[in-house]
């Protein structure tokens, strides 16, 4: 392929089993209304994934719940059981006399574990704690929705899970201790060394959010690009920096959907609101957040990785081939050397 070839809007994918190439069209830019219609057309997909996510991630839910019980009291002193009980009584939610009865204790425990559950849902929904192969399966579905390919929920899920089992398991095992260390560090420094400790705790919290984004991008990229896991992490970090504002938007949306909205629903109108919050968890919140990550990653791959000429010079260091000795042409547009490099975008 010559450098002057009209490949700026298409990418040639080299298939390992044959020599034919397949042309993939870059999705056209959509107006706000078109994006809204397109999002609505995929509602069934991400709602279906949401249900599967809840069912298959029950073990991850238990781990997330354990992490919440272990680390949230370290981070928020209010989440220590005695402090929480005192707060409930002082706030007037339950009077002191009732709190001393078995019924009052049960009500306090229920409120406490609801809050713990909300934090657990955030850990799981943000991709910090999940079952790796299942996560790859879900992102396989979102990859196909982005590419406008025919989506078969169970077939795509199985393909993504089996085809990326090893890498996704390693990514999962990497995440568990890192999340534990970051949460422990936040809790420790938040209550030590005064202002310096608060600064360090804030920095660790930002690292936790960055790691959450990177984990989601890694799972999304591994079903699209054939690269070693170390290079997937490297690319995910670079692309996160390049598309920082959309990433921040998704993080804020995760906090709203997975934490703020459930809190408001659970404590404003406990009976009806609690049912609505659970329904959102079961059918919408997880799938929608991951759908956004899948589309963001698809845009990144189309824009920066899987094209001969990346748009932004700041992503020249992205790995687009497993060959570390791949040479790139030294030009003003900093284009990838498409003659020597193998395009390893997955079908």
112 within a domain of the structure (yes/no): no
Write down the pLDDT at residue 256: 95
Assess whether pLDDT exceeds 90 at residue 295.
no
Buried b or exposed e, range 290-326, using 16+ CB within 10 angstroms? bbbbbbbbbbbbbbbbbbbebeeeebeebbbbeeeee
Position 344 confidence tier, pLDDT thresholds 50, 70, 90: low
Mean pLDDT within 106-119: 91
Contacts of 14 (CB under 8 A, 6+ apart): 21, 342, 343, 344
Position 134 confidence tier, pLDDT thresholds 50, 70, 90: very high
248 within a domain of the structure (yes/no): yes
249 within a domain of the structure (yes/no): yes
251 within a domain of the structure (yes/no): yes
Stated pTM of the model: 0.77
Long-range contacts of 101-109 (CB under 8 A, 24+ apart): 108/84
Position 29 confidence tier, pLDDT thresholds 50, 70, 90: low
The count of other CB atoms within 10 Å of the CB of residue 140 is 27
111 within a domain of the structure (yes/no): no
- 35: helix, coil or strand? helix
217 within a domain of the structure (yes/no): yes
Report d(CA 278, CA 275) in Å as an integer. Answer: 5
Write down the pLDDT at residue 63: 96
DSSP 22: E
What is the total count of domains within the chain? Answer: 1
> Domain residues for 170?
37-57+117-307
Assess whether pLDDT exceeds 80 at residue 308.
no
Position 320 confidence tier, pLDDT thresholds 50, 70, 90: low
CA nearest to 265, candidates 253, 249, 281: 281
Count of all residues that appear for the chain in the document: 347
- pLDDT, tens digit (0-9, with 9 covering 90-100), for 189-222: 988 877 889 999 999 999 999 999 999 999 999 9
Position 236 confidence tier, pLDDT thresholds 50, 70, 90: very high
Position 225 confidence tier, pLDDT thresholds 50, 70, 90: confident
Assess whether pLDDT exceeds 60 at residue 335.
no
Write down the pLDDT at residue 57: 92
How would DSSP label each residue in 48-72?
HHHHHHHHHTHHHHHHHHHHHHHHH
Contacts of 275 (CB under 8 A, 6+ apart): none
Contacts of 216 (CB under 8 A, 6+ apart): 126, 127, 290, 293, 297
Position 282 confidence tier, pLDDT thresholds 50, 70, 90: very high
Range from 129-138, 230-239, 305-314 carrying the lowest mean pLDDT: 305-314
Instruction: Name 14's bridge partners.
Output: 21
Report d(CA 198, CA 192) in Å as an integer. Answer: 8
Write down the pLDDT at residue 186: 95
Long-range contacts of 23-26 (CB under 8 A, 24+ apart): 24/147, 24/306, 24/345, 26/302, 26/307
253 within a domain of the structure (yes/no): yes
């Amino acid at each position: 392929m010559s450098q002057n070839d009209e490949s700026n809007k298409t990418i040639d994918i080299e298939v390992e089993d044959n020599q034919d190439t397949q042309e993939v069209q870059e999705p056209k830019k959509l107006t706000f209304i078109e994006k809204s219609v397109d999002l609505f057309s995929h509602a069934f997909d991400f709602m279906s994934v949401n249900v599967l996510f809840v069912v298959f991630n029950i073990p991850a839910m238990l781990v997330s719940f354990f992490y919440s019980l272990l680390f949230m009291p370290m981070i928020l002193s209010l989440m220590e059981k005695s402090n929480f009980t005192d707060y409930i009584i002082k706030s007037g939610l339950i009077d002191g006399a009732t709190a001393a009865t078995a019924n009052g204790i049960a009500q306090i425990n229920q409120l406490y574990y609801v809050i713990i559950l909300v934090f657990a849902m955030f850990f799981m929904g943000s991709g910090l704690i999940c079952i790796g192969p299942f996560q790859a399966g879900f992102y396989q579905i979102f990859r196909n929705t982005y590419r406008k390919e025919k989506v078969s929920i169970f077939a795509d899920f199985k393909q993504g899970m089996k085809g990326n089992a090893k890498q996704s398991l390693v990514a999962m095992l990497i995440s568990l201790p890192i999340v534990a260390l970051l949460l422990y560090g936040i809790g420790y420094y938040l209550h030590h060394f005064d202002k310096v400790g608060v600064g360090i705790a804030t920095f660790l919290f930002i690292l936790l959010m960055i790691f959450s984004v990177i984990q989601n991008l890694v799972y999304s990229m591994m079903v699209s690009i054939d690269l070693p896991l170390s290079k997937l992490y490297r690319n995910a970090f670079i692309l996160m920096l390049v598309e920082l504002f959309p990433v921040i938007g998704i993080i804020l949306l995760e906090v709203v959907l997975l934490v703020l909205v459930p809190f408001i629903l659970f404590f404003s109108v406990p009976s009806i609101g609690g049912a609505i919050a659970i329904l959102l968890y079961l059918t919408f919140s997880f799938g929608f957040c991951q759908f956004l990550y899948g589309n963001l990653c698809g845009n990144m791959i189309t824009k920066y990785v899987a094209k001969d000429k990346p748009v932004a010079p700041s992503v020249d260091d992205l790995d687009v081939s497993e060959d570390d000795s791949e040479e790139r042409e030294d030009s003003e547009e900093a284009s990838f050397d498409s003659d020597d490099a193998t395009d390893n975008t997955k079908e």
